[in-house]
A and B are shown apart, each in its own frame.
Chain A
Amino acid sequence: MASLESIVDPISSETYQEGSQRKRRKIGHDAGNDQDSLPAIPWRSETEQRTYSSKLVEALRRVLRQGSSSTAKPRLGRDVREVADRVLAVTARGRTRWSRAILASPLSRRKFQRQHKKVKKAANGLKKPEVRRERRRLPAVQRKARVLGRLVPGCRKVSFPSLLEETTDYISALEMQVRAMTALTELLGGGAPANRLG
């Protein structure tokens, strides 16, 4: 998938600035400090969505051309998901951990995750009973933070503040992804099933 990165166009910094100002106003808190440490991608701006949409279409065309006869249908659906995520990560311009994690992961990302879960279960049996009890006593916040860390790519072992920052950015990015892909399905004529031609 190295071709994806070659699609990246230099994006003007103007939209970035106006986008982050917009974000500040919306949130309303004086977030002067942390804005510097993690510059915000203006996921809500139309320009970002347009950028993402065009890169996505470009990448999807390649997927279709490559997998015309050989790839089975269900696999192709998963491929689209992967492409969509990778293009999203590229659009993030390497500023967040979750985006770098997506780009660094091999193509069969999901297989890896399943294996990881299996390994964990086996290890539980070997642990001493005291340790097991201790794990149940973890405060609710920590337990939930752990779950969250598993949902956001590349954030299993980051500090709590970093996790929160990454999550905030990740959610905004995901929402943009949903908006862009919804618009794409409408463009392709997927609004209502009756719309299909021929």
Chain B
Amino acid sequence: MSGQKSCRASNLNENEINDLVWRLQALLPRLNRRTDSRVSVSKILKETCSHIKKLQKEVEELSERVIELMESADITEIDEESLRRLLLH
């Protein structure tokens, strides 16, 4: 760790990492209102984990709803026109 070469390399990594952490923070709705200097990396990582879990849970719930709706509407032939409306917003 004391060699000059590794010092330079770790410096580069640190800047790179800080940059990446800030980019990540920008995505987190609960954290990106504050100035980045006040939020610790640890807190950002923690918030990232809960944000991902929340999103994954949402996808799961949406999947259940999609299947319920598809079954109740008997939608193996999904309405082409509504679909086109959705997709060509």
Which 6 pairs of residues, A with B, have the shortest CB-CB distance? A164-B20, A144-B45, A188-B69, A80-B63, A81-B63, A181-B62
Assess whether A141 is in contact with B70, with CB atoms less than 8 Å apart: no
Contact B26 A140 (CB under 8 A): no
Tell me whether A168 and B27 are in contact in the complex, defined as CB-CB below 8 angstroms, given that A50-B87, A64-B70, A77-B64 are known contacts: yes
- Restricting to A134-182, which residues have a CB under 8 Å from any CB of B? 140-141, 144-145, 147-148, 151-152, 160-161, 164-165, 167-168, 170-172, 174-175, 177-178, 181-182
The interface residues of chain A lying within 8 Å CB-to-CB of B67 are 73, 76-77, 79-80
- Is A189 at the interface (CB under 8 A from chain B)? yes
Name the interface residues of B57-88: CB closer than 8 Å to any CB of A: 58-60, 62-73, 75-76, 78, 82-83, 85-88
- Quote the shortest CB–CB distance from B69 to chain A (angstroms): 4
> How close is A12's CB to chain B, nearest CB, in angstroms?
16
How many contacting A-B pairs (Cβ < 8 A)? Answer: 140
**Quick check: is A26 within 8 A (CB to CB) of the other chain?**
yes
Majority DSSP secondary structure for residues of B touching A: helix
Residue of B nearest to A144 (CB): B45
Cα–Cα distance between A26 and B87 once the two chains are bound (Å): 25
Asked whether A27 lies within 8 Å of B76 as measured between CB atoms, the reply is: no
Whole-angstrom distance between the alpha carbons of A172 and B48 in the complex?
A: 12
Cβ-based interface call for A15 (8 A): no
Contact B45 A141 (CB under 8 A): yes
Structural contact, A183 and B49, CB atoms closer than 8 A: no
Interface of chain A residues 8 through 62 with chain B (CB within 8 A): 26-29, 31, 33-34, 46, 50, 53-54, 57, 60-61
